[in-house]
Amino acid sequence: MNENEELLSAEEMSALMPPPPAGDASTPGKRPIVPYNFRRPDRLSKEEIRSLYLLHDLFAHGLSSSLPLFMRAVSEVNLISVDQQSYGDYLKGLADPTSIFTVAAKSLHGVFAVEFSSSIAFPVIDRMLGGEGKGLSSPRAATELELQVLEGFLAVINESYRDAWKTHVEFETEIVGRETRTQLLQIIPPNGIVVTIVYQVQIGDAKGLMSICLPVELLEPVIKKATMNAYSSGVPTSPEATNALLKKVSTINFPVTSDLEKVSSAVSDLMSLSVGDVLRTSHSVDRPINICVADSAKFVGRLGSLDGKLVVQIIGEYENRGVAV
């Protein structure tokens, strides 16, 4: 086309086009045509996605109960989203590097992936190695040893995941691979459809994301049963089942501590400490102290003695007015 030639205007193009046939989307009163994304077809129905949401929300609650005891810190897991997308799009949405594991679901004869963002993976690794749960100052890939340590954390998660699925299928799992580079993890072709479940995980002061990537082909043998169970879950729970649940929850142990103010000391004084030395604090005897449950202040108490032992008497609830420790 000559650069000097003018293109037809919108009005001229409209005049050349034939009128829309009856029932076309442009006809007043008719429903508009909704574009269909062929790159992201919905393989699962809304009801099936809802049943997966309920199941994975149950998993989040169970994990929130088991992690504090294992990590010895206040822990919480919250479900953010359940969605279906292509496997290639899932990988594109992950940070690189990250910590991602391949897990085999033996009874379903397939594999799925579990990924941890660096903001939660490294604090978990630090805690499991005896640290305070500190993260990284600059991003890097986890070493092979660090990934092995993180596998211990994933083993606890897998146990809760099996419990969430047990009413639908025996979800026996085994960790079969680990990577830090997303492009090296290919559990299905990039255009394959997966269900991605995203959680926010908090352990102590650290927060980060955990995602589970389930190929639709892995779910197809059990999704119908899971959906039927989800819609029949509105039946009232029997008193026996409720009492059994309460009994199980009542056996969970949480660490309870009472803390005085921290003491600062010069290195030279620390080097000369010996058995029998007394450390003086600024905490007066009659001043209340914080009582913590799993590292979270819940009560305030008073120091005392009983039968020749030091004790702490609870005198009230913690309301952000307790002693700062």
DSSP characters for 73-133?
Answer: S-EEEEEEEEEEEEHHHHHHTS-SS-EEEEEEEGGGTEEEEEEE-HHHHHHHHHHHTTS--
For CATH 3.40.1550.10, the residue range(s) in the chain are: 46-250
Going by C-beta distance under 8 Å and a sequence separation of 6 or more, which residues neighbour residue 22?
none
- Helix H or strand E segment including 69: helix 46-71
Spatial separation of the C-alpha atoms in residues 314 and 312, rounded to whole Å: 6
Q: Give me the pLDDT at residue 275, please.
A: 86
pLDDT of residue 246: 61
**Residue 266 corresponds to which tokens in the numbers above?**
């010069």
Kind and range of the H or E element at 70? helix 46-71
pTM: 0.60
Q: Contact, 87 vs 188, CB < 8 A?
A: yes
Q: Look at the block and give the residue holding tokens 């056996």.
A: 251
pLDDT in tens, 91-122: 999 998 999 999 999 888 899 999 999 999 99
Q: What is the pLDDT of residue 101?
A: 96
Rounded Cα distance between 102 and 125, Å, is 18
Closest CA to 208 of 75, 41, 322: 75
Average pLDDT over residues 240-258: 64
| 46-250 CATH fold | Chemotaxis protein chec (3.40.1550)
What's the alpha-carbon Rg for the chain, to the nearest Å?
28
